[in-house]
C-alpha cells in the first residue's frame, strides 16, 4: 500500500483504510466457528460466504450494500444495518442483468507485479440451469470455466456472487486469473472495462490502486 492510503469509491478519492467500507473490518472476516451461509459485518457493500470453513468474499455492485437479512444487495435506506427500513417503498433497485463476462484476459503492468482481468467476446445471459440450485449441495458452484461470477446455494436457494477484480471462481474458490488455465490468453485487456463505463475513477477492492476511465480508455492509477 503506497503511503498507507486506499481508493475510496464513495468519496472518489484516496483515503485511510479505516474510512473505506469493506476495509475497516478486514481482520474480523472469518469463517471460524460459523455455519455455512452468507454473512456481512455491519453496513458494508462487501459480504462473504462460508462453506466448510472456507471463506469466499464478494462485493455488491457500485452504490449498493449487502442486506444479510434478505440475502440481497440493496440501497442503504432499505437495510437495517445501515439505519434504513426495508418496509419503506421507494423506487425499485436497478440491477444489471445476470451476465457472464467473456473476454480474453489482459495483463497490464502494475509496479513490480502484474494485474490481470477477465473478459470475453461480448456478454451472454446465464441459462436457468447454471443458476439453479436444484440437486446441488449447499456451497459455491462454478458457472463457467473462466468466470468472475459464481452461484451460492443455501437450502436450494441460489444467489449470484462475484469474485473480487482480477480473480475468477475456480475449484471452489476465488483464484487469481493468471493461475486458471481456462483463462489463459495472449490477447490483452484492462482490469476495469472502460468501454462500458462513464469517465471517472473506479476502485479495485481494498487497495491503493484504481483505474481512471477517460473516453473508454483505462489508465492505472495509484494513491499516494
Q: What is the DSSP string of 43-81?
A: S-SEEEEEETTEEEEEEPSTT-EEETTTTEEE-GGG-GG
**DSSP track, 109-149:** EETTEEEEE--EEEEEEPPHHHH--TTPPSEEEESSTT-SE
Model confidence pLDDT, tens digit, residues 63-82: 788 888 888 888 888 888 88
- Give the chain's mean pLDDT: 69
SS3 157: strand
At 129 the pLDDT is 65
Q: What are the start-end ranges of the E strands in 144-191?
A: 149-154, 157-162, 167-170, 173-176
Contact 7, 210 (CB under 8 A): yes
**Assigned C-alpha cell, 65:** 450494500
Query: What's the chain's length in residues?
Result: 224
pTM: 0.33
Residue 108 has pLDDT above 60, yes or no: no
Percent of the chain with pLDDT over 90: 0
Model confidence pLDDT, tens digit, residues 122-177: 233 445 566 778 888 888 888 777 777 788 787 777 777 777 777 788 888 888 88
Mean pLDDT over 49-73 rounds to 80
Position 29 confidence tier, pLDDT thresholds 50, 70, 90: low
At 156 the pLDDT is 76
Report all structural domains of the chain as residue ranges with CATH numbers, in order of start: 1-19+192-224 (no CATH), 31-95 (2.170.140), 97-184 (no CATH)
Mean pLDDT over 82-89 rounds to 71
Mean pLDDT over 110-130 rounds to 40
Alpha-carbon dihedral 112, 118, 120, 125, rounded to 10 degrees = -170
Cα–Cα distance for residue pair 157/177, rounded to 1 Å: 28
Distance set, CA 139 to CA 34, 48, 185 (Å)? 14, 12, 29
Amino acid at each position: 500500500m503506497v503511503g498507507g492510503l486506499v481508493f475510496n469509491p464513495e468519496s472518489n478519492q484516496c483515503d485511510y483504510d479505516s474510512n473505506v467500507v469493506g476495509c475497516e473490518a478486514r481482520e474480523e472476516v472469518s469463517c471460524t466457528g460459523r455455519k455455512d451461509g452468507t454473512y456481512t459485518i455491519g453496513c458494508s457493500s462487501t459480504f462473504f460466504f462460508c462453506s466448510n470453513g472456507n471463506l469466499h468474499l464478494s462485493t455488491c455492485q457500485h452504490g449498493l450494500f449487502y442486506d444479510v437479512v434478505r440475502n440481497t444487495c440493496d440501497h442503504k435506506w432499505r437495510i437495517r444495518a445501515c439505519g434504513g427500513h426495508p418496509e419503506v417503498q421507494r423506487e425499485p433497485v436497478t440491477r444489471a442483468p445476470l451476465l457472464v463476462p467473456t473476454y480474453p484476459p489482459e495483463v497490464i503492468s502494475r509496479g513490480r507485479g502484474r494485474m490481470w482481468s477477465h473478459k470475453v467476446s461480448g456478454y451472454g445471459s446465464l441459462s436457468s440451469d447454471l443458476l439453479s440450485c436444484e440437486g446441488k449441495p449447499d456451497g459455491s458452484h462454478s458457472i463457467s470455466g473462466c468466470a468472475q461470477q459464481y452461484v451460492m446455494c443455501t437450502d436450494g436457494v441460489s444467489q449470484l456472487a462475484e469474485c473480487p477484480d482480477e480473480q475468477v471462481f475456480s475449484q471452489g474458490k476465488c483464484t487469481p486469473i493468471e493461475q486458471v488455465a481456462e483463462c489463459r490468453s495472449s490477447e490483452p485487456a484492462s482490469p476495469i472495462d472502460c468501454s462500458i463505463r462513464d469517465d471517472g475513477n473506479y476502485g479495485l477492492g481494498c487497495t491503493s490502486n484504481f483505474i481512471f476511465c477517460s473516453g473508454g480508455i483505462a489508465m492505472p492509477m495509484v494513491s499516494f
